[in-house]
Amino acid sequence: MNTEKKSSEKIYADAVTVLPGGVSRNTIFHKPFPHYVSGASGCMVTDIDGTQRIDFANNMASLIHGHAYPPIVEAVTEQLKKGTAYTLATEVEVRYAQHLTSRAPDFDKIRFVNSGTEAVMSMVKAARAFTGKSKIAKAEGSYNGTYDFVEVSQVSSPENWGPIDHPNRNPLAFGTPPGVLEDVVVYPFNDIENTLNLLDENADDLACVLIDPIPHRVGLFAATDAFVEAVYAWTRKHDTLLVFDEVITFRTTYGGAQQNYSVKPDLTALGKLIGGGFPVGAFAGRSDVMSVMDPNESPLRLPHSGTFSANPITMTAGYVAMQDFDQNAILDLNELTARAISQINEAIKLADVPMSISGLGSMFRLHPRRNAPESYREAFQFKEEKAVMTKILDHMFYKENIIMVNTGTCMFSTAIGQQEVDRLSQGLMNAFKANKAELNEVWDRYHEKHKKADPKG
């Protein structure tokens, strides 16, 4: 029997021989090697080397109640004894669909899938099937999953993003078919005039306009009321659908971020938290649009199935998670997050560093800026800025034992309390002070590059 103690470094040496780069998802990669989990409970994660960390990433916003939430563990354990997947429907799928559609008045019907990417992809395909058009419009810099069309211009930079009134359509992955780029219109988020002009130029061909109401990669600030209303009005005139990506943002209020607007999307993609810690996706919306998948319809405009869609494990876990993430839980979590932001702002002031915070609800993001950005091009970070942000995140991970998303973002869970918030704000204070000189130097460089790159033009 091998009694040699495991270590993350040793496991990684094996990992690189069988996994590209030693990982199955690049977001968990840490230099010089990623760390491997021994166990997790609540807001704490312990790696196999014995280090315990507070988790403010929560598997990229998917664990709304933290790790090993007892009611979910109990419910899933009971379901496991009955089976994990069948070539039959389950009642829990229906009950969970009833619950989710009750949370948002514009959710007439819902279809479950297996990831946020699949939800957005299927939503786009449903919009095309319903309208008979092929093009989509999406925001510059927005991450909407790993689907060719919505990846376009996800990481545009000053070298290739082009003029603000006609942003370039840049592929993310090498080998993306040129035809993909031709069917995507890239608009500048929250820029009404330029967005509407771009939509007008493609009015006859647009199946949908995709909006993430609080796009993480763009900068984690909300779509303005005026912007959403303007796009909605345009779609009504041109037989185009307005579709929302709420894979992350559905956590912000009981009915999602769309609850904050006077107009509602035709379709909405969901994911992350609605799986209760298991792989999940869903899209919901108008009955007439969702009918493109109805097997009773002839012709069937969008044949749609999935081997593990609506599997009883995910449905059980998600149903428990969302029932417990009720109005009071949301208000409490948002209030705790607001206190964290206040404390971190105080830490920024005391450390006297160029840092700002954006975000809503139970999530926020740090920016190496004196003032929070208001557009993707303002939020864009040059390599020097990314380097100093990596140092801050490494300080948090290795010296403060705190896990954050690698963009400098926190996604709270209900397992987090004031004690953890105090640890976070103090840890960031320490990180700011340790990197103060470099933060200020990079800020000065940014201003020079900002003038040359002209992010608004």
Query: Is residue 1 one of the residues assigned to a domain?
Result: no
Q: Is 123 exposed, middle or buried (0-12, 13-18, 19+ CB in 10 A)?
A: buried
In the block, tokens 């109990």 appear at 74
CATH number at 296 reads 3.40.640.10
Instruction: Specify whether 260 is located in the same domain as 341.
Output: no
pLDDT of res. 211: 98
Name the active-site residue from 106, 191, 212, 245. Answer: 245
Q: Which of 242, 286, 299, 282 is nearest to 265 (CA)?
A: 242
Instruction: Specify whether 277 is located in the same domain as 346.
Output: no
Q: Quick one: CA torsion of 41, 45, 46, 47, rounded to 10 degrees?
A: 140
What does DSSP say about strands 402-403 and 363-367: parallel, antiparallel, or unpaired? Answer: unpaired
Determine the Cα–Cα distance for residues 227 and 394; give it in Å rounded to an integer: 37
Instruction: Specify whether 421 is located in the same domain as 378.
Output: yes
Instruction: Specify whether 212 is located in the same domain as 126.
Output: yes
Contact (CB, 8 A) for 336 and 325: no
Residues of the domain holding 164: 70-324
Query: Is residue 22 one of the residues assigned to a domain?
Result: no
Instruction: Specify whether 56 is located in the same domain as 166.
Output: no
Instruction: Specify whether 135 is located in the same domain as 192.
Output: yes
Contact (CB, 8 A) for 123 and 243: yes
pLDDT of res. 63: 98
Name the active-site residue from 272, 319, 376, 446. Answer: 272
26: which 2 tokens?
A: 């690049």
pTM (2 decimals)?
Answer: 0.95
The tens place of each residue's pLDDT in the chain, 457 residues long, gives: 344 557 999 999 999 999 999 999 998 888 889 999 999 999 999 999 999 999 999 999 999 999 999 999 999 999 999 999 999 999 999 999 999 999 999 999 999 999 999 999 999 999 999 999 999 999 999 999 999 999 999 999 999 999 999 999 999 999 999 999 999 999 999 999 999 999 999 999 999 999 999 999 999 999 999 999 999 999 999 999 999 999 999 999 999 999 999 999 999 999 999 999 999 999 999 999 999 999 999 999 999 999 999 999 999 999 999 999 999 999 999 999 999 999 999 999 999 999 999 999 999 999 999 999 999 999 999 999 999 999 999 999 999 999 999 999 999 999 999 999 999 999 999 999 999 999 999 998 877 666 555 544 4
Instruction: Specify whether 213 is located in the same domain as 333.
Output: no
**How many CB atoms are located within 10 Å of the residue 421 CB?**
22
Query: Is residue 8 one of the residues assigned to a domain?
Result: no
Q: Which of 70, 200, 188, 180 is nearest to 140 (CA)?
A: 188
Tell me the torsion sign for CA atoms 437, 402, 407, 245. Answer: negative
- Structural domain ending residue among the three candidates 299, 324, 349: 324
230: which 2 tokens?
A: 């303007």
What does DSSP say about strands 52-55 and 402-403: parallel, antiparallel, or unpaired? Answer: parallel
What's the DSSP call for residue 405?
Answer: B
36: which 2 tokens?
A: 């491997």
Instruction: Specify whether 425 is located in the same domain as 398.
Output: yes
Instruction: Specify whether 437 is located in the same domain as 301.
Output: no
SS3 240: coil
- Structural domain ending residue among the three candidates 273, 308, 324: 324
Tell me the torsion sign for CA atoms 106, 110, 112, 117. Answer: negative
Query: Is residue 404 one of the residues assigned to a domain?
Result: yes
Amino acid, single-letter form, for residue 169: R
Instruction: Specify whether 245 is located in the same domain as 192.
Output: yes
Query: Is residue 51 one of the residues assigned to a domain?
Result: yes
Instruction: Specify whether 50 is located in the same domain as 139.
Output: no
204 in catalytic set: no
- Structural domain ending residue among the three candidates 286, 309, 324: 324
Instruction: Specify whether 385 is located in the same domain as 433.
Output: yes
pLDDT of res. 20: 95
Query: In the chain, how many domains are there?
Result: 2
pLDDT of res. 29: 86
SS3 245: strand
Q: Which of 230, 251, 255 is nearest to 242 (CA)?
A: 230
Contact (CB, 8 A) for 365 and 357: yes
398 in catalytic set: no
Residue 453 phi, psi dihedral angles, 5° rounding: -75, -25
What does DSSP say about strands 281-285 and 267-271: parallel, antiparallel, or unpaired? Answer: antiparallel
CATH number at 444 reads 3.90.1150.10
53: CB partners within 8 A, 6+ apart: 44, 45, 46, 47, 397, 401, 402, 403
143 in catalytic set: yes
Contact (CB, 8 A) for 172 and 141: no
Q: Which of 247, 419, 416 is nearest to 329 (CA)?
A: 416
Name the active-site residue from 12, 69, 143, 254. Answer: 143
Query: Is residue 85 one of the residues assigned to a domain?
Result: yes
